[in-house]
Amino acid sequence: MRETTKLFLLSALFADLGLMLAGRMTAQTFSVIHTFTSASGPNLTNTDGANPSAGLILSGKTLYGTAKYGGSSGWGTVFALSTDGSVFAAPYSFTGGSDGANPTAGLILSNNTLYGTASAGGSSGHGTIFSVNTNGSSFSNLHSFTATANDSFGLHTNSDGANPYVGLILSGATLYGAANDGGSSGQGTVFAVNTIGSGLTTLHSFSSGSGGAYSSAGLILSGNTLYGANYGNLGNGTVFAINTDGTAFTNYYAFTAGHLNGNGILTNSDGANPYAELILSGDTLYGTAENGGSSGKGTVFSVTTNGTDFATLHSFTKGAYNSLGLYTNSDGANPSAELVLSGNTLYGTANAGGLSGRGTVFALNTDGTGFTNLYNFSATPPYPNTTNSDGANPTARLILSGYALYGTAPYGGIAGNGTVFSLSFAPQLTIIPSGTNVVVTWPSNVAGFDYTGFVLQSAPALTGAFTNLPGASSPFTNPIAGTQQFYRLSQ
């Protein structure tokens, strides 16, 4: 009886410290740190926002992001949230007027100032570039995209672009970004603007054809070169580069034409319609394509900065449609988010697919091996009642801090208006009874997270002082008949 009681105390009291009985918990912990609330009234207003479709940024222990809808006017919010979910604030609500409306992109932070884009609103209704302090004060409309006119092809053209769906990057006092529409051909622009809002310059206007159009992906900067991806027009999208002064625009890679399968879905070898920002490591760019690939459900790819050595790292797999008409499979489908890189592991989200058809969080190595489905978002009732406990259809990049990934899901949650979530991979202890001993084990790595540097500590009481056990390695054996010890892992 004494042995049974002791094991119960170890497992029950040490849940918060990561100690557990074998098979009781998985290696990761999914947490919803904020569920966006119900919206009501003719403009669907609330206090916090709704449908966050952009990624987050982290400063200290505070996450900053945007919600596309909701807020006091129903046109979206800028929000701040502590990483443990205990403190939430929506310091700014868009009015839908001169300040902008419907922010679909993430923010960047410089000192106490957040910079971002709104996809609509402004003086012509075609979006804005804005800045606002982290506490919501000193909002400034840095640029309102100008009115458009229909050309002979029915495209909406102007001088500067329209409807920016992606965020900005900052170099010195200059912000760089891309607009999805407008420009001289009506198919988007790359632009630069001073942080005080003066001197917007159109660096490039995209044109139709296989050269790429509709820049729905953000930019990255290396030296004086901006890299980006185009969703495509007559073609299936491109990876491009342009100098920060607007010269030397080059399409380094054009996604292949492919063919339509029996279900009318485009399949090819490399992917189609890259919707997300690229990431750069050394001379290699990594990204996702929303469609195409062997099953037509998208790919993860890499390509060198000069356009050579393209590789399809992963094609999302074939599946089947469930009773709600959602595509389900083992790994996810239609990735539309930027990747994040840690060591040799890429982490990302898939907008659809997975076991319930509501998307996944995944990891894979930079050489394409070791693909792992880290999390399947849970099922929801039929549209429009897309409620669940965790969120649905993630469309934005993750951020990595320590041993946790943070992200947003624009749908799902208890009100159907989306969630902010974390997926923690802190190493966990496992207790295995073995004869007259208790064996404590822990992993050396999980899903690309290297646990080198963690040490085993013990204390005679839960509230006592824990001390290192020099040289202790997994598995570690403790006699049941010995002095009771409490264990934890610490860096």
How confident is the model at residue 9, as a pLDDT? 35
The two tokens of residue 63 are 């996450």
Query: Do 304 and 196 share a structural domain?
Result: yes
SS3 4: helix
The two tokens of residue 373 are 């489905």
User: Which of 393, 424, 455 is the last residue before a domain boundary?
Assistant: 424
CATH number at residue 484: 2.60.40
Q: From the CB of residue 306, how many other CB atoms can be counted at a distance below 10 Å? A: 11
The strand pairing partners of 201, in sequence order, are: 192
Q: Dihedral, CA atoms, 207, 213, 217, 220, nearest 10 degrees?
A: -40
User: Which of 424, 441, 469 is the last residue before a domain boundary?
Assistant: 424
Q: Which residues contact 258 (CB under 8 A, 6 or more apart)?
A: 236, 266, 267, 268, 269, 272, 292
CATH number at residue 394: 2.120.10.30
Query: Do 80 and 66 share a structural domain?
Result: yes
Query: Do 157 and 144 share a structural domain?
Result: yes
480, burial (CB in 10 Å: exposed 0-12, middle 13-18, buried 19+): middle
How confident is the model at residue 28, as a pLDDT? 82
How confident is the model at residue 437, as a pLDDT? 87
Query: Do 148 and 17 share a structural domain?
Result: no
Q: Which residue has the tokens 């990934």?
A: 405
How confident is the model at residue 463, as a pLDDT? 80
In angstroms, what is the C-alpha Rg of the chain? Answer: 24
By residue range, what is the domain housing residue 486? 2-25+427-490
Sheet of 19-21, strands arranged across: 19-21, 429-434, 437-441, 476-479
Query: Do 362 and 263 share a structural domain?
Result: yes
Considering only CA atoms, which of 278, 297, 300 is closest in space to residue 370? Answer: 300
How confident is the model at residue 263, as a pLDDT? 83
In the chain the first and final C-alpha atoms are separated, in Å, by: 35
DSSP symbols for 254-314: E----EE-TTS-EE-SS-B---S--EEETTEEEEEESBBSTTSB-EEEEEETTS-S-EEEE
Query: Do 338 and 461 share a structural domain?
Result: no
Query: Do 254 and 176 share a structural domain?
Result: yes
Spans of the chain below 50 pLDDT: 1-26
CB hemisphere CA count around 398 (13 angstroms): 28
Query: Do 49 and 21 share a structural domain?
Result: no
Distance between CA atoms of 238 and 215, rounded to whole angstroms?
Answer: 10
Distance between CA atoms of 284 and 280, rounded to whole angstroms?
Answer: 6
Give the pTM: 0.91
Query: Do 194 and 77 share a structural domain?
Result: yes
What backbone phi and psi angles, to 5 degrees, belong to 130? -135, 165
Query: Do 432 and 314 share a structural domain?
Result: no
How confident is the model at residue 213, as a pLDDT? 62
Q: Write the DSSP symbol of residue 205.
A: E
User: Which of 403, 424, 445 is the last residue before a domain boundary?
Assistant: 424
Q: Write the DSSP symbol of residue 400.
A: E
468, burial (CB in 10 Å: exposed 0-12, middle 13-18, buried 19+): exposed
Query: Do 308 and 285 share a structural domain?
Result: yes
For the chain, the residue count is 491
Query: Do 39 and 21 share a structural domain?
Result: no
Please give the tally of structural domains in the chain. 2
